[in-house]
Chains A and B, each alone.
Chain A
Amino acid sequence: MTAITVRPARRLAGGTAAGLGVAVLYLSLIVLIPLAAVVWRSADEGPGYFWRSVTTPDAWAALTLTIGASALVALINLVMGTAIAWVLVRDRFPGRAVLDTIIDLPFALPTIVAGLVLLALYGPQSPLGINLAYSRAGVVLALLFVTLPFVVRTVQPVLLELDAEMEQAAASLGAGPFQIFRRVILPNLIPAMLSGTALAFTRAIAEFGSTVLISGNLPFKTQVAAVNIFSQIEGDNTTGAAAISTVLLVVALVALISLDVLQRWGSRRG
């Protein structure tokens, strides 16, 4: 312990202090001060104004739609993401490597392009005859697109490292495939599944670009919180925009803190 405390003292005296200073200054100017300004501005006119800004009918509708749609999207991701990870790890078929690569495409594809491609297939000119434009289903579709990789990429490595011997032992003791999945595999996967789901949820509540084109941004119907904030900024109501932003920040923070708690719980069990 002493060795660890002596070393930093020596190093901090050198260029480290300067480096740390620059890093903190950079982070403060770009991230911390601006975010603090949002929270500060939201409280500018007092708690009454904050509450009224958040509960105006259109803002409240946007917030509940965002949180509801994000919860649904997180749930679908929990199931589908785990299924895809399972197929990628345990199944062998031609094209598996391609599937494995393209899962990350939503991370690389600009969100506005994501919205446009979805609108091409599921919009008014849909070759499939499915039109989800300007509907809540369209919002959910856009959120599913951008959050696809999260659960897959958190579950996949855990599944890869899972010890096959445990499953063989269970099978030799007479457990059926479903029992093995539920009693042996699932308990090992749950922490990763939940953290992937939490990440997908925080991404979904923050989403803007992909929903802009497909949702049509109809207030009370398809307008998500980020779009509502955007229109308030355009309308020069920055205090109202800051209030809704603060709510989004708090929801994201709560989700991330629960994720951290889950991960600790997971690593304790592992």
Chain B
Amino acid sequence: MAKHVLRLVAVAYVLFLLVLPVMLIIWRTFGDGLAPFAEALTSPSALHAFKVTLTVAGWAVVANTVFGVGTALLLVRHEFPGKRLLGAFIDLPMAVSPVVVGLALILVYGRFSPFGGLLESWGIQVIFSTPGMVLATVFVALPLVVRAVVPVLEELGDEQEQAAHTLGASRLQTFLRITLPGIRWALGYGIVLCLARSLGEYGAVAVVSGRLVDQTQTLTLFVEERFQNFDQPAAFAAATALALIAVVTLLLTKLLRPKDRIDGN
């Protein structure tokens, strides 16, 4: 009896908090068929928002993947003073509000700061422009690749790498032939998480982008702006597109996760 009550409570909680709201938005979007959905997402503003989102997320994922793999290797394979501190700093972005991220970047890279002013005099505008949005996205998604790769690197050990080294392989060869294949599933998992976080970032990008319609507007900003301007169909369509991306992400991570366990063992 108690078992059934608990099951009912748990399922009802998730149903009303999570499942029904998401289903309702998908239902409202597709209620009148696919045509309005396609139409809302192919308006010039929506297409532009897609483009901005993909550009920003693309750069952020590349930057965080390179940094993530490099830092994971440093943390696992090397000893150096301040290692624990570096590990703690990498997790820091998780505890920072997206709005604070935006403010932090404005204070350093904004036009009225010394550094931002210097960049501006070289013709590089960071805030209210793509570089600032990439920085904000890199910030919020920073720990994801590192944290996905570190446990698998630890489990793999470095015996194979050392063997390759003894047999005359260069550092690059060792990395490409031994390390990378060993971590590929975990890396894929980290990249998928990082991409999803980057496509979906709202708060930090809202602050640094200046929210200029058709210029720095990403898809998440488009959802908010369309909703506030009483254009519900467009807001719902873009929200559904983002929700579908989230569901695909979820299934991908589900697929990638068990395999890295097998790889690791």
Contact = CB atoms under 8 A, between A and B. Distances in A.
B74 A206 contact: no
A99 B19 CA distance: 10
B106 interface: yes
Tell which of A31, A38, A108, A117 has the most Cβ of chain B within 10 Å.
A108
A111 B73 CA distance: 32
B249 A108 contact: yes
B262 interface: no
A38 B243 contact: no
A8 B125 CA distance: 41
A58 interface: no
B70 A19 contact: yes
B242 A113 contact: yes
Interface residues of A, number: 82
A258 to B, nearest CB: 12
Given A30-B142, A208-B203, A20 B74 contact: yes
Contacts of A245: 97, 99-100, 103-104
Given A110-B242, A120-B28, A248-B97, A11 B107 contact: no
A93 B10 CA distance: 12
A interface secondary structure, majority: helix
A30 B139 contact: yes
B14 A83 contact: no
Nearest to A4: B79
B70 A22 contact: yes
A237 to B, nearest CB: 11
A87 interface: yes
A102 B78 contact: no
B103 A229 contact: yes
A131 to B, nearest CB: 14
Nearest to B224: A112
B139 A16 contact: no
A96 B172 CA distance: 45
Contact of B254 (A101, A120, A177): A101
Contact of B227 (A5, A95, A116): A116
B233 interface: no
B108 A233 contact: no
Given A41-B107, A83-B10, A84-B13, A31 B79 contact: no
A99 B220 contact: no
Interface string B62-99: 00000100110110001110000010011011111111
B14 A99 contact: yes
Given A91-B3, A209-B203, A212-B224, A102 B99 contact: no
Tell which of B108, B109, B138 has the most Cβ of chain A within 10 Å.
B108
Nearest to B93: A31
Contacts of A174: none
B80 A16 contact: yes
Nearest to A242: B103
A44 to B, nearest CB: 10
B17 A117 contact: no
Given A31-B142, A34-B108, A209-B220, A117 B24 contact: yes
Given A106-B18, A116-B223, A249 B24 contact: no
A8 B200 contact: no
Interface string A96-122: 000101111110111111001110111
Nearest to A109: B246
A202 interface: yes
Tell which of B24, B138, B242 has the most Cβ of chain A within 10 Å.
B24
Contacts of A35: 92, 96, 100, 104
A199 to B, nearest CB: 8
Contacts of A112: 202, 220, 223-224, 239
B202 A102 contact: no
A30 B135 contact: yes
Nearest to A28: B89
Tell which of A11, A15, A208 has the most Cβ of chain B within 10 Å.
A208
A8 B80 contact: yes
Contacts of B196: 108
21 contacts: A4-B79, A11-B79, A23-B67, A38-B107, A80-B13, A87-B10, A91-B6, A99-B11, A101-B251, A109-B200, A110-B200, A113-B239, A113-B242, A113-B246, A120-B236, A144-B17, A177-B2, A212-B224, A213-B224, A233-B102, A255-B95
Q: Which 6 A-B pairs have the closest CB atoms?
A: A110-B200, A34-B104, A206-B97, A8-B79, A208-B203, A108-B246
